Amino acid sequence: MYFAWVRERIGKPAEEIEPPAGVVTVADLIGWLSGRSDEYAHAFENPKVIRAAIDRAHVKADALIAGAREIAFFPPMTGG
Amino acid sequence: MSASVRLQREPFDAAAEVAALKRGRTDIGAVVTFTGICRGDENGEPIAALTLEHYPEMAEAEIARQVAAAQARWALLGVRVIHRFGRIEPGADIVLVVTASSHRHDAFAAAEFLMDYLKTRAPFWKEVERASGKSWVGAKDADEALAARWSKPGRDEAAE
């Protein structure tokens, strides 16, 4: 799932993906997605600012994605 | 302890929320109410409105986790959090945090803690609407610093 400007740059709010076996962490997934098209590359051009959640809880870039049902990428939050 | 978290498009009535929290109780000695309001300018430029995007399922879960953390840390008798989403015009309310306790310190501290965490960890994003177009609001380092002061050294409260 993608939110805010990550969603706008990629051009869709959500999708089903099957990453290859070598994609193990959130950081790996960002790298793999970035190689899919210019839109993904633009969304993830600065991976340091990208936040991630697995199954609706915040995770760091080194978190393992095995078994995740729902992964979300989004910019730093600006609610409140 | 009664705790409720609501995410809604509609406006809220802060006084009604406080009244509901206090109803029929005499153990509550302090209620702190914080209301966050849409300002008419962003970085000195006038705005027409804010639109708040959110990740509904995670927002509810994340705010509930923050409320549980506040309950574990302070002696709270009640908490209500309402966060609006959708288009909000200047002068209109965005967020409400109500905390109740026997004595004021717990209610004050918990309300501030909850707001600091809401700003940096609840999955909401503000988009500003101006005459010149729309743009996403950038996160402020000052908000991160305010949230970080609640973390005790050696305790991993912030997952990012």
Contacts of B136 in chain A (CB under 8 A): 4-5, 75, 78
Domain count, chain B: 1
CA–centroid distance for B119 within its chain: 7
Spatial separation of the C-alpha atoms in residues B128 and B71, rounded to whole Å: 34
Q: Give, for B45, the enclosing helix (H) or strand (E).
A: strand B45-46
CA–centroid distance for B96 within its chain: 6
Q: Is residue B154 pLDDT above 70, yes or no?
A: no
Is B11 domain-assigned?
yes
Q: Going residue by residue through chain A (80 aa), what tens digit of pLDDT does each one get?
A: 999 999 999 999 999 999 999 999 999 999 999 999 999 999 999 999 999 999 999 999 999 999 999 999 999 999 99
Contacts of A59 in chain B (CB under 8 A): 159
Given pLDDT bands bounded at 50, 70 and 90, which one contains residue B44? confident
Query: A55-77: string of b/e by CB count within 10 Å (b at 16+)?
Result: ebebbebebebeeeeebbbbbbb
Q: Are A80 and B124 an interchain contact pair (Cβ–Cβ within 8 Å)?
A: yes
Given pLDDT bands bounded at 50, 70 and 90, which one contains residue B140? confident
Q: Is residue B160 pLDDT above 50, yes or no?
A: no
Spatial separation of the C-alpha atoms in residues B11 and B37, rounded to whole Å: 11
Is B135 domain-assigned?
yes
Given pLDDT bands bounded at 50, 70 and 90, which one contains residue B153? low
Give the up-direction half-sphere exposure of residue B141: CA atoms within 13 A in the CB hemisphere: 0
Mean pLDDT for B37-49 is 92
What confidence score (pLDDT) does residue B159 get? 41
Q: Is residue B17 pLDDT above 50, yes or no?
A: yes
The helix, strand and coil proportions of chain B, stated in percent and rounded to the nearest 5, come to 35, 35, 30
A–B CB contacts, 8 A cutoff, strictly below: 82
Contacts of A5 in chain B (CB under 8 A): 136
Query: Which of helix, strand or coil describes residue A19?
Result: coil
What confidence score (pLDDT) does residue B143 get? 86
Query: Which of helix, strand or coil describes residue A12?
Result: coil
Given pLDDT bands bounded at 50, 70 and 90, which one contains residue B20? very high
Put simply, whether A80 touches B (Cβ < 8 Å) is yes
Put simply, whether A35 touches B (Cβ < 8 Å) is no
CA distance to partner chain B, nearest, from residue A44 (Å): 16
Is B89 domain-assigned?
yes
Residue of A nearest to B117 (CA): A80
Tell me which DSSP letter residue B155 carries: -
Is B160 domain-assigned?
no
Tell me which DSSP letter residue B91 carries: T
Q: Is residue B118 pLDDT above 90, yes or no?
A: yes
Q: Is residue B157 pLDDT above 60, yes or no?
A: no
Residue of B nearest to A78 (CA): B125
Do B100 and B77 contact (CB within 8 A), yes or no?
yes
Is B154 domain-assigned?
no
Q: Tell me the CATH number at B77.
A: 3.90.1170.40
What confidence score (pLDDT) does residue B155 get? 44
Structural domain for B42, as ranges: 2-148
Q: Are B62 and A79 an interchain contact pair (Cβ–Cβ within 8 Å)?
A: no
Do B59 and B83 contact (CB within 8 A), yes or no?
yes
Under the phi-then-psi rule, with left for phi > 0, alpha for psi from -120 to 50, and beta for the rest, what region is B99?
beta
